[in-house]
């Protein structure tokens, strides 16, 4: 597997993790329980981290692959 293929796999995995974490965040965000609110904040942090990882790996793919 080339670096381009590996970064594309990382991009797709990060996108899937981001979507799953976003659904987890939505589930726990408006709960009256303090523990559920904390779970929502953790889910949001994972969402933002996965989006950043996906953006970086996507930029690497675009740079190596020659852009548009």
**DSSP sequence for 20-56:** HHHHHHHHHHT-SSHHHHHHHHHHHHHHHHHHHHHHH
Q: What is the pLDDT of residue 67?
A: 66
pLDDT tens string 29-68: 888 888 888 999 999 999 999 999 999 998 888 888 776 5
| Distance (Å, whole) CA 54 – CA 14 | 5
- How much is the pLDDT for 68? 58
Per-residue pLDDT at 5 exceeds 90: no
Average pLDDT for 17-22: 96
CA distances from 14 to 22, 23, 30, 42, 58 (A): 12, 14, 25, 16, 10
- This prediction has a pTM of 0.82
């Amino acid at each position: 597997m080339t670096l381009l293929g590996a970064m594309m796999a990382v991009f797709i995995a990060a996108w899937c993790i981001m979507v799953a974490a976003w659904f987890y965040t939505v589930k726990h965000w408006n709960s009256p329980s303090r523990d559920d609110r904390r779970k929502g904040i953790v889910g949001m942090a994972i969402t933002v981290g996965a989006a950043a990882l996906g953006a970086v790996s996507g930029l690497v793919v675009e740079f190596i692959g020659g852009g548009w």
